[in-house]
Amino acid sequence: MTISELRLALRAAGVDDLAYRLQGEPWNPAGPGPNHGGVALLRSGAGEWYVLGGADATYGTATRLRTFASEAEACEVFYREMTGPEPFAAEKAAWAAEFEQRRAESRAHADRTWPETARLRGYWHQVWKRRETEGQQAMTVREIDQALREAGCRSGVRIGGIDPLYGDNSTVAAPGPDGRWWIAWTGERGGDGHYLAVGLAEAEACTYLFNSATAHGIRDRPTPAQWIGELEAARWNREQRPIPPSPWPEPLGLTR
């Protein structure tokens, strides 16, 4: 089988067109793409064939899942995997384990470098866990406002109507008309901003903001709801939806 025959063969087998991309095809704006849960069979500049994917196992970070010596081998394996129950499951599991080990090591290094931030993160993560166990809201907008001030990173975050103006390189967040929150980055030096997550409940938005602001470059594993919000934000960005102009709605429970 060749790459030109593979798409037709997969369609005939009932595989969803949006679940993958093949070498030479444009990105499908309606599909998730390898960086959001799909896979792609590609060829490198050196002529090496490989499968890119695994973002669904790591919540957003893709890698080379498998490499092949020839086009025929690549197509044969790709067809077999994509027509199976869980395509590239073993490779994704191995990548997830490697990724989590790297993340844990990087997190430990960051915590040693910024011990006060680590203390605050540890405190709030314990609070969230306890509250969720008790069926309570993990974090409120008033608490995120204070927590970011204690962490010394409040100035880079704009929350709802309390911050009617924003400039470059800021994270902005506000509830939409339906009460669900959107979070976006404003862009830098006149560049276009983009959404980070949309459709979040207040607690999910607050924990997302806290983890992002205190991450020191080490991304926290999002909750399932936050991951869905990131996928929806990717769709909004593909549709080039503009960030709403300020002033935004002021969250309930937070006053100037």
Q: How many CB atoms lie within 10 A of CB 93?
A: 13
Residue 133 in any domain: the answer is: yes
Closest CA to 113 of 210, 217, 208: 217
Residue 217 in any domain: the answer is: yes
Same domain, yes or no: 60 and 134? no
Question: What pLDDT is recorded for position 179?
Answer: 87
Residue 131 in any domain: the answer is: yes
Residue 252 in any domain: the answer is: no
Q: Is the pLDDT confidence value at 228 over 50? A: yes
Same domain, yes or no: 134 and 219? yes
Same domain, yes or no: 152 and 78? no
Same domain, yes or no: 12 and 82? yes
Residue 17 in any domain: the answer is: yes
Same domain, yes or no: 61 and 127? no
Of the pLDDT bands very low, low, confident and very high (cuts 50, 70, 90), residue 32 is low
Same domain, yes or no: 79 and 189? no
Same domain, yes or no: 131 and 183? yes
Residue 243 in any domain: the answer is: no
Task: Label residues 182-204 b or e (16+ Cβ within 10 Å = b).
Answer: bbbbbeeeeeebbbbbbbbebbb
The total domain count for the chain is 2
Same domain, yes or no: 90 and 120? no
- Average pLDDT (186-190) is 65
Same domain, yes or no: 88 and 130? no
Residue 127 in any domain: the answer is: yes
pTM of structure:
0.80
Same domain, yes or no: 73 and 128? no
Same domain, yes or no: 85 and 120? no
Q: Is the pLDDT confidence value at 30 over 60? A: no
Q: Which domain holds residue 56?
A: 3-95
Same domain, yes or no: 146 and 209? yes
The residue that leads in pLDDT, 213 or 38, is: 213
DSSP secondary structure, the chain, as one string: --HHHHHHHHHHTT--GGGEEETTPPP-TTS--GGGT-EEEEE-TTS-EEEEE-HHHHTS--EEEEEESSHHHHHHHHHHHHTSSSTTHHHHHHHHHHHHHHHHHHHHHHHHHSHHHHHHHHHHHHHHHHHHHTT--S--HHHHHHHHHHHT-GGGEEEGGG-----SS-EEEEE-TTS-EEEEE--STT---EEEEEEE-HHHHHHHHHHHHT-TT-PPPPPHHHHHHHHHHHHHHHTTPPPPPSSPPPPTT---
pLDDT tens-digit readout, 117-142: 999 999 999 999 999 999 999 999 88
Q: Is the pLDDT confidence value at 245 over 80? A: no
Residue 42 in any domain: the answer is: yes
Of the pLDDT bands very low, low, confident and very high (cuts 50, 70, 90), residue 106 is very high
